[in-house]
Structure 1
Amino acid sequence: MGKIEGQKPRVVLVPFPYQGHITPMLQLGSILNSRGFSITVAHTEFNSPNPLDHPEFVFLPLPDNLSGCETSYISSLKGISAMNVNSKERFHEYMVEMLEKQPQNGLVSCIVYDNLMHFVNEVATHLKLPTVVLRPNSAAYLRSLQFIIQLQADNLIPLPEHQLQDAIPTHHLLRFKDLPFPVTAEIPKILIEFFTSYANIRSSSAIILNTADILDHESLTKLQQHFKVPIFPVGPLQKMAPKFNTSLITEDTSSITWLDKQAPNSVLYISIGSIAIMDKKELIEMAWGLANSDQPFLWVVRPSSVSGSEWIECLPEGFEEITRERGCIVKWAPQKKVLAHPAVGGFWSHSGWNSTLESMCEGVPMICRPYFSDQVVNTRYLTHVWKVALELNSLERKGIEQAIRALMGDKEGKEMRQKALKMKQELELSIQRGGSSWNSFENLVEFIASFTQQNVKATMIPDSSD
């Protein structure tokens, strides 16, 4: 018989450096680490995670040669392209070094990478290493991208305005209006290329999705038929992973102290995420809508999230005086703790997938104000499929006031809160032993372990008794 000497098998993670992408990747790594795998994280210099928050991981910085990354959609796509070009060579060097040190430092089982970091596939293919792609969005979002690609291929873009309210034939839960990019005008070539690249899993052996079967069953079934590789819906990862900090922005914990003084279910929490930007007019209308609603609120205003403004200097005169007794404004908050706080009764959100899952996991109903990308798809599901949210249809102060009152006090809001609490219970069941997400993660662990076993055979050390 042969034997293998050395450390635990190693999984290499390559996240994309935006908050909504890096958080689920680190959560996945933490769970895999608890299941017996060593974890190495290869990350860009831009938005790099803090190794002190994850002492059990090995961190390898990748040069990206980016002095910064703009958040406008097209500029971000150019940044993604630059990251893929600039990080490839060093990542290849890291992997060669890692393979040369096998098995003493642990066999490399596979590489799990964010699909936006597609240079990983080229390196892995060259080194004959298996890859698994992590998609941090919902399955429904991926299907919506596939549909845009098909519309473009069939020369149906631009679509007539009158069709926007029609249901998509192959995805009836969405309307054409709910696609992640407007289809009533020509779509820039760079975006079509991005959608096509993002929907392509290349040579990956499997797909991991931070979603649950109860949320995405129809879309998961369709994706399985399309890709014909194992798909592992293992979400919500934040409920399965040990608690640790994944925020790229310093959190203001005074918000929790403030919440401790508020009545149960009384506070509206407001945050538009880590990259969305609003204009000054929207900020002013939000402020007066909040003021006129008479509702207690915790408002995250991220620095530079208001176009042309550093922070809250554009708030209208008199707002802070009117709301001083019932409002709290911070630059960033520990969102998972905020949503779990008994004082929070509603969440005004951009409907990013991380925020969506975090809100549903705590049974908090939502007001949705989507800005771009998957946020539009998520909003449709939140409001019309899961029915735990209402969409903000007016950005004027009167419409904002009405939406806040509807969510926080009216019969409609109470019904959404009941549905949100039921969804919370169903998600909790899915991650418990025997639940769909629990079973899916068990299958994922076995799947990755099978790569390790193949590598063991390839690097077997003869036993002296042979």
Structure 2
Amino acid sequence: MAGNNRKPHAIMIPYPYQGHINPFVYLAMKLASQGFTITFVNTQSVHHRISRAQSATNGGDIFAGARDSGLDIRYATVSDGFPIEFDRSLNHDQFVDGLINVFSAYVDELVARLAVSDPPGTCLISDTFYVWASAIAGKHNLVSVSFWTEPALVLSLYYHLDLLKKYGHFGSKVKREDVIDYIPGVRKIKPTDLTSYLQADDIWTVVHRVIYKAFEDIKKADIIICNTVQELEFDTLSALHRKQPTYAIGPIVSGFTNQTVSTSLWSESDCTPWLDGKPNGSVLYVSFGSHAHTTTKEDIWEIAHGLLMSGVNFVWVIRPDIVNSGETNFLPVGFENSMEGRGLIVRWCSQIKVISHPAIGGFMSHCGWNSVLESISCRVPLICFPLFTDQFTNRKLVVNDWKIGINLCDRASITRKEVEEKIRYLTSEKTSKELRNAIKEVSKTMENALTIDGSSEKNFKLLIEDIKAQMNKKTGPAFGVVDRSREHVWAPTTKKRSLSIAVNNQLPLHAFSY
């Protein structure tokens, strides 16, 4: 098929964690609304967890509703190489190693099939952390788009890892404490504001190997997408764009489209009735994200006591696996009885639904990037308690650059008195006035970026033009035999509904056509 006659068909593959899946979902719907055919690919494990959490009645096809509204989004799942019952959290290193060395073969088989589908795949939009994306895109003559779901600052630090090594701020036996001022487009940054992996002593963990390979691979991509706003990280994005086409199209949060898709990996509690009974701006929302297991029992105790001492109302999301020791009884004895109606503890909830409620006046957060964007969108200032990965660098943006939050502590451990003081500071209208004014301005900048003439909307149109231009340079894929035993696909067709079942590695897999 001639390149200039091909309809854009993007195959989208998020990294299998909640914070990566969510922006991928909303970008998929945004592209579909512009005439793209989308095949969205989840691992079978992620699909299983979403289906279980949502008590799915539609076979787990998360885009069924979007298709009913006319969007051409197909939903596929593929094995990550491990059985469904394999504990990916407990066996983190083994799992990530499999994503590097095993998962790519299964993805390759699925992409080979989609490359000759109707319409044929023309573009692979993959998470930047997939180290094999450009190779698979190249093999099947697809435009390679790397989707970075974190801020441009973090992208640039990893992108220029060679400079950090050269000047001894990474991988050196001697820890340098002077500021880093040589990264193109990046203001001076302290070593303590680097990501946790760039501050680590052991630089040969499995995650480090992912970072090294991923940031070799990203430089082979045709296009980079970044979930940020051009005005908020202008210099950094400009420097990156001079090296490769880089488009800031954020914030990609739930308000990015008018469609809602349920993607939660956990069953959600509805906090609305409890919040409805609280005065506007009186509740602190506390959540440390979907993935961190680095919180200590001691920190949880100090936060719990600080919450009680502060006297504020609070909603606290506490996952059972949040404590790094594996303990499940990690709250102080009698804590829940001491809340006296001021506190609500849940295992999981719809974060955007909670922080957009008028009763919420502040957010104590790990500073995951989605949480930061959602906070800004809802104009809720932050107390920052980063735990690992990009969260330390995100805190720098929140506290130092945009001044829309405060730091919980600067020491290795926290105290209940400090927690109390920071909560009181944030929840007092008098002391937090500057924070609230600042977050209103940053929120306006984000809102303006998504208007018709805004930077993110303009960049989104340029992205589509660039994808189509790159697509038209590609030739048609080679046809061959495809092993379809490891994936299943939901897709709208004009054919009669069909069901096929195959067995691979003793796991039942299905393929549906609609």
What TM-score results when the alignment is normalised by the length of structure 2? 0.81
Percent identity among equivalent residues? 28
Q: 3-state SS of the aligned residue for 2:112?
A: helix
Q: Which runs of 5+ in 1 are unaligned?
A: 460-466
1:113 aligns to 2:131 (yes or no): no
**Greater alpha carbon shift after TM alignment, 245-254 vs 290-299:** 245-254
**Greater alpha carbon shift after TM alignment, 8-17 vs 168-177:** 168-177
Counterpart for residue 93 of structure 1: 109
Q: 3-state SS of the aligned residue for 1:174?
A: coil
1:125 aligns to 2:134 (yes or no): no
Counterpart for residue 193 of structure 2: 178
1:436 aligns to 2:455 (yes or no): yes
The 1:365–1:15 alpha-carbon spacing in structure 2 relative to 1, beyond 3 Å, is same
C-alpha contact 2:61 2:75 (8 A) present in aligned 1: no
Alpha-carbon deviation of 1:193?
3.4
Counterpart for residue 383 of structure 2: 367
> 2: CA distance between counterparts of 1:136 and 1:184?
21
Alpha-carbon deviation of 1:146?
3.8
1:344-359 → structure 2 map (5 Å cutoff): 344-359=360-375
Counterpart for residue 226 of structure 2: 209
1:152 aligns to 2:188 (yes or no): no
C-alpha contact 1:350 1:371 (8 A) present in aligned 2: yes
Q: 3-state SS of the aligned residue for 2:452?
A: coil
> 2: CA distance between counterparts of 1:87 and 1:440?
32
Alpha-carbon deviation of 1:208?
0.4
> 1: CA distance between counterparts of 2:43 and 2:123?
19
Counterpart for residue 22 of structure 2: 23
C-alpha contact 1:158 1:184 (8 A) present in aligned 2: no
Alpha-carbon deviation of 1:186?
3.7
Identify which of 168, 189, 195 aligns with 2:204: 189
**Greater alpha carbon shift after TM alignment, 175-184 vs 200-209:** 175-184
Counterpart for residue 279 of structure 1: 296
C-alpha contact 1:366 1:389 (8 A) present in aligned 2: yes
> 1: CA distance between counterparts of 2:173 and 2:474?
51
Alpha-carbon deviation of 1:100?
3.0
Alpha-carbon deviation of 1:215?
1.7
> 2: CA distance between counterparts of 1:188 and 1:113?
25
> 1: CA distance between counterparts of 2:200 and 2:111?
43
C-alpha contact 2:197 2:208 (8 A) present in aligned 1: no
Identify which of 413, 418, 424 aligns with 1:399: 418
Alpha-carbon deviation of 1:187?
3.5
Counterpart for residue 62 of structure 2: 53
> 1: CA distance between counterparts of 2:419 and 2:14?
36
> 2: CA distance between counterparts of 1:148 and 1:159?
16
> 1: CA distance between counterparts of 2:96 and 2:397?
28
Counterpart for residue 323 of structure 2: 306
Q: 3-state SS of the aligned residue for 1:47?
A: helix
Q: 3-state SS of the aligned residue for 2:196?
A: coil
Alpha-carbon deviation of 1:69?
5.4
> 2: CA distance between counterparts of 1:341 and 1:184?
37
C-alpha contact 1:159 1:184 (8 A) present in aligned 2: no
C-alpha contact 2:3 2:474 (8 A) present in aligned 1: no
1:389-428 → structure 2 map (5 Å cutoff): 389-393=405-409, 395-409=414-428, 411-428=430-447
The 1:454–1:46 alpha-carbon spacing in structure 2 relative to 1, beyond 3 Å, is same
Paired letter, 2:220: S
Alpha-carbon deviation of 1:154?
4.7
> 2: CA distance between counterparts of 1:80 and 1:125?
23
Alpha-carbon deviation of 1:129?
1.8
Identify which of 283, 304, 309 aligns with 1:292: 309
Counterpart for residue 464 of structure 1: none
Alpha-carbon deviation of 1:240?
1.9
Paired letter, 2:165: Q
> 2: CA distance between counterparts of 1:159 and 1:184?
12
Paired letter, 1:433: I
Q: 3-state SS of the aligned residue for 2:202?
A: coil
Identify which of 247, 263, 269 aligns with 1:247: 263
Counterpart for residue 41 of structure 1: 40
1:392-446 C-alpha deviation (Å, 9 max, x unpaired)? 1161100100110011115332210121122111111110011100100111122
C-alpha contact 1:11 1:40 (8 A) present in aligned 2: yes
Counterpart for residue 511 of structure 2: none
C-alpha contact 1:77 1:194 (8 A) present in aligned 2: no
Alpha-carbon deviation of 1:27?
1.1
> 2: CA distance between counterparts of 1:339 and 1:243?
19
The 1:141–1:76 alpha-carbon spacing in structure 2 relative to 1, beyond 3 Å, is farther
Paired letter, 2:172: P
1:344-391 C-alpha deviation (Å, 9 max, x unpaired)? 010000001111101111111000000111100000110010000001
C-alpha contact 1:133 1:206 (8 A) present in aligned 2: yes
Paired letter, 1:81: D
Q: 3-state SS of the aligned residue for 1:292?
A: helix
Alpha-carbon deviation of 1:142?
1.4
Structure with more of its chain in helix, by fraction: 1
Alpha-carbon deviation of 1:160?
5.0
What TM-score results when the alignment is normalised by the length of structure 1? 0.88
Q: 3-state SS of the aligned residue for 1:245?
A: coil
The 1:3–1:229 alpha-carbon spacing in structure 2 relative to 1, beyond 3 Å, is closer
Instruction: Supply the RMSD in Å over aligned alpha carbons.
Output: 2.7
C-alpha contact 2:191 2:199 (8 A) present in aligned 1: no
Q: 3-state SS of the aligned residue for 1:13?
A: strand
Aligned length: 448
**Greater alpha carbon shift after TM alignment, 214-223 vs 235-244:** 235-244
> 2: CA distance between counterparts of 1:354 and 1:78?
26
Counterpart for residue 143 of structure 1: 156
> 1: CA distance between counterparts of 2:476 and 2:319?
52
Q: 3-state SS of the aligned residue for 1:428?
A: helix
Counterpart for residue 503 of structure 2: none
1:151-172 C-alpha deviation (Å, 9 max, x unpaired)? 32455543755x5363544333
Alpha-carbon deviation of 1:320?
1.7
1:339 aligns to 2:355 (yes or no): yes
> 2: CA distance between counterparts of 1:184 and 1:100?
45
